[in-house]
Every structure is written in C-alpha cells, then in structure tokens.
C-alpha cells in the first residue's frame, strides 16, 4: 500500500524531547534524519531516545509499528512498507495527535475516488447539451446532471458508510450535527461552465472526522481524467493516465513573481482594481475556475484572494486538504482558520490561499489595501 498510517494533533507546542516521548508512548520508534535519506541507511539506523535529542539535533523520523507485534524488527517492518514518511521538528509538533485507523481512511478514500469517477462518467455522458437546466430558489442554476449525481451519492454513501452523514450542495436536508462524521460533496462544481459546454467544472469531495476535522480532500476533473487527492498528514497526490504520483510542494517565489487568481466568471473590475492597489501586475493575474486546485499543484498559481464571504463548505473543503498538504494555508482573509460547522464571528469578508511562509505578509498587504479602499 502506498499510504502510511497517519499521526495527528495532540502534542501542542511540545519540545522535541516531549514530542518524542509521546511518540514512544504510542508504541512508535524513532530514527535519526529525514525521510529523504537512503532507505537502506534508515533500515539499519539505531533507534533514538528522547534523551538523544538536542536543540541542534532535533530532526527525526517517526516509524510505525503499533499495528504489528512490538517484537517485530525494523527489517521486517520495512519489508511491509510501513514507514511513516514525514519529518517532524519541534515547530510543527503541534500538528500531531493520535493514530487514526489507516485501513478505514483508505477505504473511505477508495470509495470517494470510485464515486468521483462515477460522477465524471455521468458528466461526460451529458456534456455537450444532453441535459435540462432548472433554477433553484436562490436563482442559481442546476442541471439534471447535478441531480443524477446527487441521487447516485445519496444511494451509495448511506449504504456503504451508514454512520457518515452527507452534506452536499444538492442535499435537500443538509444539517450539521456535532459529533458526527460527514462526507462534504459538490456534485458538479462549476455548473455554469458545464451548461456552456466550457472546460471549468469538476467534482469535489471531502471527508470530515468529528474528532480530527477535515481528513481527506479530492478534486476530479472529468474532461482530463485527472484526480487530485490528499489525506491530511500524508501528502497530496495526482492520478492521471493510470499512474499515481506524489506531488511536491511548489517552490516559494518572490512577491514580484507570484501569480494571483481571478475568478473567471466575475465580469467586473473589482479584482483587477484590488490587485493593482497591491502592486500586482496584469501579467501576474490568472483566470481560475474549478481547475484552480490543479493550477496550485502545478505551481502555476500561488495566491487566491476571494473578496466575498459566505462560500459554502463544499466549495472549499476538498481543496483545503489538498493545498495545505503542499505547504499552502487556506484561511479567511484575516488569517482565521476555517472549520466545518462553525460560523465565524465576526463574519468573514473573504478567503485567502497562499504559501504558508508568505501568509503574514500577505494578510498585512490585504488588510492595508482593504482599508485604503474603504470610503472615509
């Protein structure tokens, strides 16, 4: 199996030694160095103890053995490809907490992938005009393709995962319930593009754990047969032409080389005026659609600023998991974290995706630009 057992958020701001002790108490063992080293060296590496860690030598790898007998040696462990491929340092120890059932995560991911491909088949079968268009009470458009995909999801999901709720765009009875897991799904993201027979639509899905938060994100682009997916803490992946490849975090660029998103369907000048005040050149602005996630993972797009609040969770949940696995931060414009089922107070005014190292500077620029745009 290509996936490894994840570890998530519990240790807070623990020091390297404290974090190492937590790992060992869970039945894990530690080896020095990073996962970029030669696997043969790691196999033969001597396990380290918390007392071995110092301020200058605090990088270590967490190797999993909790689901195997504790007497199993490292050689047998590595044969089973169970290395947890992530390097932990004290400043990111706060991301780690407990071990969630990896088999369950893989089953959920496989199910969401299969469901996404089924949704894609429905889209392709109707693409080109073989559908009807209706208007919802909010005056937005929906097609019988959206509804056919929704019916498929509402039949399959409760049957396969009866304890996981559904929160989808086309659900008639969606309601957040505390202490309940959910599938968050946009059956056909970019309906207007689909209606106009234009490339720019997708299927998006996420799995939300009531205990750990958003855990799985997925975006499927049916016209290109490209699947992007991620499990929190395990990296992001792309599946195309029958092959799965782990994605690398795009390199951090200077501010003058960043590329910014402009919603393709927005016809006014609000975004171009806003970017001009930030000092962003016209050549740095890219039109975006439901392909925005793909633009991020390819390194073509660096920053997305949405100058509008109230975005429904199915429009951001899956993408958030994927881009954050690649070193981006996906927050409200003021930097506050986004959580499913929680309405921010005060209300949000928009959303920001940008490389984590640039976030503080980016938020400062945005707030200054917003302030200068507000009439006295």
Q: List, as residue ranges, the binding site for Mg(2+).
A: 169, 186, 188-189, 315
Angle at 173 between CA 157 and CA 193, to 5 degrees: 75
Task: Compute and round to an integer the Cα radius of gyration of the chain.
Answer: 22
Instruction: Pick left, alpha or beta for residue 336 (phi over 0 → left; psi -120 to 50 → alpha; otherwise beta).
Output: beta
Angle at 353 between CA 352 and CA 359, to 5 degrees: 80
If we measure between CA atoms, which residue out of 203, 217, 216, 133 comes closest to residue 169? 203
If we measure between CA atoms, which residue out of 372, 64, 112 comes closest to residue 233? 64
If we measure between CA atoms, which residue out of 161, 138, 183, 221 comes closest to residue 318? 183
Q: Is residue 93 exposed (0-12), middle (13-18) or buried (19+ Cβ within 10 Å)?
A: buried
Q: Say if CB 117 and CB 144 are below 8 A apart.
A: no
Please give the annotated binding residues, written as ranges.
Answer: 169, 186, 188-189, 315
CA atoms of 11 and 214, how far apart (whole Å): 18
Q: What is the dihedral of CA 294, 300, 305, 310, to 10 degrees?
A: -10
Question: Residue 11 carries which DSSP code?
Answer: -
Beta-carbon contacts of residue 25 (< 8 Å; ≥ 6 apart): none
- H/E stretch holding 175: none
Q: How far apart are the first and last CA of the chain?
A: 59
Angle at 116 between CA 111 and CA 118, to 5 degrees: 95
């Amino acid at each position: 199996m290509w996936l490894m057992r994840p570890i998530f958020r519990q240790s807070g701001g623990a020091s390297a030694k404290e974090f190492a002790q937590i790992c060992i108490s869970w039945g894990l063992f530690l080896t020095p160095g990073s996962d970029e080293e030669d696997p043969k060296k790691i196999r033969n590496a001597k396990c380290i103890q918390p007392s071995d860690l110092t301020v200058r030598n605090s990088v270590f790898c967490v190797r999993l053995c909790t689901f195997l007998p504790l007497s199993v040696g490292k050689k047998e462990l590595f044969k089973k490809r169970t290395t947890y491929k992530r390097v932990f340092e004290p400043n990111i120890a706060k991301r780690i907490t407990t071990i969630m059932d990896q088999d369950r995560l893989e089953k959920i991911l496989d199910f969401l992938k299969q469901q996404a491909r089924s949704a894609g088949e429905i889209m392709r079968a109707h693409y080109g005009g073989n559908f009807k268009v209706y208007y919802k009470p909010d005056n937005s458009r929906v097609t019988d393709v959206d509804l056919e995909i929704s019916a498929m999801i509402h039949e399959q999901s409760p049957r396969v995962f009866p304890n996981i709720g559904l929160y989808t765009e086309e659900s008639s009875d969606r309601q957040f319930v505390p202490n309940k897991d959910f599938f968050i799904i946009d059956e056909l993201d970019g309906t207007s593009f689909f209606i106009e027979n234009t490339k720019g639509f997708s299927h998006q899905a996420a799995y939300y754990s009531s205990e750990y938060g958003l855990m799985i994100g997925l975006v499927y682009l049916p016209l290109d047969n490209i699947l992007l997916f991620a499990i929190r803490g395990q990296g992001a992946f792309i599946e195309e032409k029958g092959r799965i490849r782990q994605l690398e975090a795009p390199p951090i660029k200077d501010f003058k080389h960043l590329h910014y998103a402009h919603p393709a369907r927005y016809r006014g000048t609000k975004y171009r005026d806003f970017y001009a005040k930030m000092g962003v050149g016209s050549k740095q602005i890219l039109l975006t659609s439901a392909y925005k996630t793909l633009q991020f993972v390819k390194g073509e797009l660096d920053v997305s600023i949405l100058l509008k609040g109230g975005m429904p969770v199915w429009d951001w949940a899956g993408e958030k998991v994927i881009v954050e696995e690649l070193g981006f931060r996906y927050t409200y414009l003021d930097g506050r974290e986004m959580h499913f089922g929680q309405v921010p107070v005060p209300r949000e005014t928009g959303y920001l995706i940008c490389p984590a190292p640039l976030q503080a500077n980016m938020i400062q620029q945005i707030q200054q630009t917003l302030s200068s745009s507000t009439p006295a």
